[in-house]
């Protein structure tokens, strides 16, 4: 018989940490903690396979599941010394989701399940606290109604607030047992009003309702959005964890908290977290109350006047320290812990690899390796390559004037400026208009995730360092300030205020996620300094990677940034970008609009010294590292004057009739310029353009070799060829120019001529082309466009739908489509090497900075990848992980 349910508790478990795919992350780790003999409330896990079955069988369950759940419930009851549904001695449980990848706050949870009109009285007797019992019951009704019955949280909030106003209460703690008991009746009445049915009193009906809701929440909108943003497959499903309740809201000797074994923002090795006395677990994570510090040191640093856990609960704190040290050694990674203290006794509710910023991930990986807990190679695999982007965020210039309106908690590092918006939908709308925004909320909830993704930064007035806003922002690499309690947000009037200052929607603020400050207006920013741990980990990565990493760099500034980030050459210099300079565009337009070759050569003679100067500077910066220069590629119409004023200016410079120029501009206009008169087609029709560029390259190489003393070996790249004949014609001109410069200067340049493979035909003809081409660089942007027949500029309107509907697994312009575009690259690689075994092969599209694409390039044996300068560190780390057989890290 299939096993659908696994139990844990009392120092043993049927599962273990390595069963994450079956039990989900939470279930596997609860089982592991039980096996380690840690204090874990007993419970059981319904496997992810039940979730798969549930969706494959029209939301029904396997026939054996009911009996297996009943047996597991009885086993949990025996360990806890209670019985589920027993009105005299009731077992109460929590029902939580647990996917194999952590999805904080994305799915549904129900606490205190098993309470009804009879068991609430038993709970009051056992706890000797009627107020606590009815508070627990009203929490259960609120959660269960929201999650299972579809009666939103706001219904109950409205009843509670009205009652507090009527009684003159300010805080929930002001309410008495009688208040809560009365509210329970009003809550149940509201449920009947909204659903037409009584609130369920049968604990078994409650349990199956909650189990169904958790499985159902796998397909709720916020979970779908989170999975899409974090590349979590829908097919994984979620497990359901049912666990005996322990209560952190049973008075002043009870508490609940969240802790990290190292600081998730900085990586510092110190217990870091928050707790709340007399509260339930969801209170901390939901950010409804701003919590207290766990350690005395953190309390002092925060300037808090509330007691730390270390001071208020010394015995429970000491046990927590022992457990966290043991768990970190056991898992060999920073852990995120959830715990509850019930009447002085500590219970562990969860451990998992903690979400962390890139800065923290680097420090933790390097320090764990230095402590001997993991190897250097493991350290390299512990950091998500794409997360390194976070390290490159700007920070506020220390010299800048800070007009601080409020200070909250530094929840996610980095700084960002933008216009204030108050809703996730507004954030998306502003972003679509090209406006940068800061999302301002009282607290964020999982429904806000699309707005958080669209925003530059996030600001909340409630919640701690482990609130939803903090955890999600850190995962996204967005600056976040949480718990800025001095601010008052008024959604109705679209304002946020502090003291006498009122800011409205559209006003600009800056959030500093490293200090917790909120500043009025835009503030000067600094580019980040990379930490010592960054250099250490990158050094370890460079020791193991095989792929070289170059940068796409069109300007000296690009080249310097690329070198700073460890680039090993320039894989693509787009010469046309040099032509758009205001001082040069006139000469370029003269060249394009000239009637004959003589006119074109006159204009090109003006451009020659400018191009030569550019190349000299690039070669000097790169000091002998390879530099691949692409000949002019875009359609000529991109350089043409568009306004009558621009036409008149060019006409005056050329002493020509403006009408004649307008006619020439019309002649050059194309229906589909991306597939038109561009690339090598320009060099074939107007060979003088390629000759001027080749001359500039070779003269610059001679000059730079003299000035630096380092040999310069330029790689001249012919774009957009479809076959060997085109390439050979252009190569002939380049070789002739190299010979001419050698005669004129007396210095012979060592150079290579190769091509960009960006048309499917070129990929298929690669064997022939390699007879004369010395290198191939795959232009994956255009190769993807021409393989799919999709314009990258127009794809946004429908590609998102394709990915959402599962037609494509990912956007092929973001990650190489291995089956189609990747297969063409593989064919070209094999055919090219068969003819010329030493041919140099690389890619130079933006895919060069995508970790999955880098892994593909490693697998098929390319020599290098080239990407934008700021993605060079990402590519270096991804190349190392590919060499270690790992395309992406899972813990960062």
Residue 785 tokens, joined: 């466009």
Residue 347 pairs in a beta bridge with: 340
Helix or strand holding residue 367 (H, E)? helix 358-370
CA separation for the pair 97, 34 (Å, rounded): 19
CB atoms near residue 144 (< 10 Å): 24
- Which of 798, 557, 585, 758 has the alpha carbon at shortest distance from 675? 758
Q: Give the Cα separation of 856 and 873 in Å (integer).
A: 17
Catalytic residue selected from 450, 468, 494, 847: 468
- 443 closest CA partner among 402, 414, 409: 409
Closest CA to 325 of 100, 36, 13, 15: 36
Our answer to whether residue 867 is catalytic in this structure is no
In degrees, to the nearest 5, what angle opens at C-alpha 154 toward C-alphas 148 and 159?
110
308-315 — which CB contacts under 8 Å span 24+ positions? 309/255, 309/257, 309/275, 312/255, 312/277, 313/253, 313/255, 313/341, 313/344, 315/344
Nearest to 183, CA basis, from 209, 158, 147:
158
Sign of the torsion formed by the C-alpha atoms of 509, 514, 517 and 523: negative
Could you say which DSSP state residue 146 is in?
Answer: I
Q: How far apart are CA 713 and CA 697, in angstroms?
A: 10
d(CA 541, CA 878): 9
Q: Are 235 and 218 in contact (CB under 8 A)?
A: no
Largest CA distance in the chain: 104
Task: Tell me the C-alpha distance between 95 and 147, whole Å.
Answer: 11
Is 560:617 a contact under the CB 8 Å cutoff?
no
CA–CA separation, 371 and 739 (whole Å): 59
Q: What is the CA radius of gyration of the chain?
A: 32
User: How many whole angstroms from its chain centre is CA 557?
Assistant: 27
d(CA 62, CA 77): 24
CA nearest neighbour of 193 among 226, 161, 239, 158? 158
**365 CB contacts (<8 Å, ≥6 apart)?**
374, 379, 380, 382, 383, 533, 537
Return d(Cα 263, Cα 258) in angstroms, integer.
12
Helices within 91-152 (DSSP H only) = 119-127, 130-144
Rounded CA-CA distance 220/228 in Å is 12
| Residue 863 Cα distances to 552, 844, 850, angstroms | 16, 12, 16
Residue holding tokens 């995120």?
Answer: 336
Is the distance from CB of 474 to CB of 412 less than 8 angstroms? yes
Is 573 a known active-site residue?
no
For residues 183 and 280, give the distance between their C-alpha atoms in angstroms, rounded to a whole number: 19
User: In a 10 Å sphere around its CB, with 0-12 CB exposed, 13-18 middle and 19+ buried, how is residue 458 labelled?
Assistant: buried
Question: Where do the H-state alpha helices sit in 746-779?
Answer: 760-764, 766-769
Helices and strands (DSSP H and E) totals, the chain: 34, 32
What is the distance in angstroms between the CA of the first residue and the CA of the last residue of the chain?
A: 38
Among residues 629, 575, 612, 614, the alpha carbon closest in space to that of 756 is found at: 629
Of 51, 480, 573, 844, the catalytic one is 844
Are the C-beta atoms of residues 632 and 652 closer than 8 Å to each other? Answer: no
Active-site residues: which are they? Answer: 468, 844
């Amino acid at each position: 018989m299939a096993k659908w349910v696994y139990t844990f508790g009392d120092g043993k478990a049927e599962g273990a940490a390595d069963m994450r795919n079956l039990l989900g992350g939470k279930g596997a780790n609860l089982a592991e903690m039980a096996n380690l003999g840690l204090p874990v409330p007993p419970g059981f896990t319904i496997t992810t396979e039940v979730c798969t079955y549930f969706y494959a069988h029209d939301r029904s369950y396997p026939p054996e599941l009911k009996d297996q759940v009943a047996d597991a419930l009885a086993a949990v009851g025996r360990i806890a010394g209670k019985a589920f549904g027993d009105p005299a001695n009731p077992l109460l449980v929590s029902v939580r989701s647990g996917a194999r990848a952590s999805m904080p706050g994305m799915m549904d949870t129900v606490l205190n399940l098993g309470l009804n009109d009879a068991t609430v009285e038993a709970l009051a007797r056992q706890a000797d606290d009627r107020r606590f019992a009815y508070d627990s019951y009203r929490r259960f009704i609120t959660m269960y109604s929201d999650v299972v019955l579809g009666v939103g949280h706001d219904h109950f909030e409205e009843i509670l607030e009205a009652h507090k106003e009527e009684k003159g209460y300010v805080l929930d703690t002001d309410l008495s047992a009688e208040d809560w008991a009365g509210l329970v009746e009003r809550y149940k009445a509201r449920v009947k009003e909204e659903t037409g049915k009584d609130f369920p009193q049968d604990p078994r009906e409650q349990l199956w309702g909650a189990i169904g809701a958790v499985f159902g929440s796998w397909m709720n909108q916020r979970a779908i959005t989170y999975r899409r943003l974090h590349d979590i497959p829908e097919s994984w499903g979620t497990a359901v964890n049912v666990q005996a309740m322990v209560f952190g809201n049973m008075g002043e000797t009870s508490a609940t908290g969240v802790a990290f074994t190292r600081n998730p923002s900085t990586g510092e090795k110190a217990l870091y977290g928050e707790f709340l006395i007399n509260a339930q677990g969801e209170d901390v994570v939901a950010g409804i109350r701003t919590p207290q510090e766990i350690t005395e040191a953190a309390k002092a640093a925060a300037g808090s006047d509330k007691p730390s856990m270390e001071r208020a609960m010394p015995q429970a704190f000491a046990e927590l320290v022992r457990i966290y040290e043991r768990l970190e050694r056991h898992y060999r990674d920073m852990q995120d812990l959830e715990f509850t203290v019930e009447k002085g006794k500590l219970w562990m509710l969860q451990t998992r690899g903690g979400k962390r910023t890139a800065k923290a991930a680097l420090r933790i990986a390097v320090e764990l390796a230095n402590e001997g807990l993991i190897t250097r190679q493991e350290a390299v695999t512990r950091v998500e390559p794409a997360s390194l982007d976070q390290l490159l965020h700007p920070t506020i210039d220390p010299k800048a004037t800070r007009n601080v309106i409020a200070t909250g908690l530094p929840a996610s590092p980095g700084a960002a400026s933008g216009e204030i918006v108050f809703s996730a939908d507004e954030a998306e709308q502003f972003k679509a208009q090209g406006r940068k925004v800061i999302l301002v909320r009282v607290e964020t909830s999982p429904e806000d995730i699309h707005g958080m993704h669209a925003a530059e930064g996030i600001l909340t007035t409630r919640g701690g360092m482990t609130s939803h806003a903090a955890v999600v922002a850190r995962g996204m690499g967005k600056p976040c300030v949480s718990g800025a309690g001095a601010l008052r947000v008024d959604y109705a009037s679209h304002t946020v205020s502090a003291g006498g200052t009122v800011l409205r929607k559209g006003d600009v603020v800056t959030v500093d996620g490293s200090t917790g400050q909120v500043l009025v207006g835009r503030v000067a920013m600094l580019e980040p300094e990379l930490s010592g741990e960054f250099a250490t980990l990158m050094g370890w990565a460079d020791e193991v990677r095989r792929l070289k990493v170059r940068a796409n760099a069109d300007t000296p500034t690009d080249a310097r940034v690329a070198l700073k980030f460890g680039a090993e050459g320039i894989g693509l210099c787009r010469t046309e970008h040099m032509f758009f300079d205001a001082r040069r565009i006139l000469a370029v337009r003269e060249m394009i609009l000239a009637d004959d070759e003589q006119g074109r050569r006159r204009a090109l003679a003006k451009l020659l010294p400018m191009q030569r100067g550019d190349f000299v500077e690039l070669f000097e910066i790169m000091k002998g590292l390879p530099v691949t220069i692409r000949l002019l590629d875009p359609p000529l119409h991109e350089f043409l004057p568009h306004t009558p004023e621009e036409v008149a200016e060019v006409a005056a410079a050329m002493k020509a009739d403006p009408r004649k120029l307008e006619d020439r501009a019309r002649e050059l206009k194309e229906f589909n310029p991306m597939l038109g008169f561009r690339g090598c087609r320009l060099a074939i029709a107007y060979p003088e353009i390629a000759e001027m560029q080749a001359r500039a390259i070779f003269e610059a190489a001679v000059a730079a070799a003299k000035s630096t003393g380092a040999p310069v070996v330029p790689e001249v790249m012919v774009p957009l060829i479809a076959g060997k004949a085109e390439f050979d014609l252009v190569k002939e001109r380049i070789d002739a120019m190299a010979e001419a410069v050698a005669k004129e200067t007396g210095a012979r340049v060592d150079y290579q001529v190769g091509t960009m493979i960006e048309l499917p035909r070129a990929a298929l003809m690669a064997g022939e082309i390699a007879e004369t081409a010395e290198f191939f660089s795959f232009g994956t942007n255009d190769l993807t466009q021409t393989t799919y027949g999709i314009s990258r500029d127009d794809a946004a309107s429908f590609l998102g739908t394709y990915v959402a509907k599962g037609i494509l697994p990912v956007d092929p312009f973001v990650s190489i489509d291995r089956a189609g575009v990747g297969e063409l690259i593989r064919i070209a690689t094999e055919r090219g090497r068969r003819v010329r075994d030493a041919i140099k092969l690389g890619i130079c599209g933006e895919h060069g900075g995508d970790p999955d694409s880098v892994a593909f390039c490693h697998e098929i044996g390319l020599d290098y990848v080239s990407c934008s300068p700021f993605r060079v560190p990402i590519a270096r780390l991804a190349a190392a992980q590919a060499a270690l057989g790992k395309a992406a890290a899972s813990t960062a």
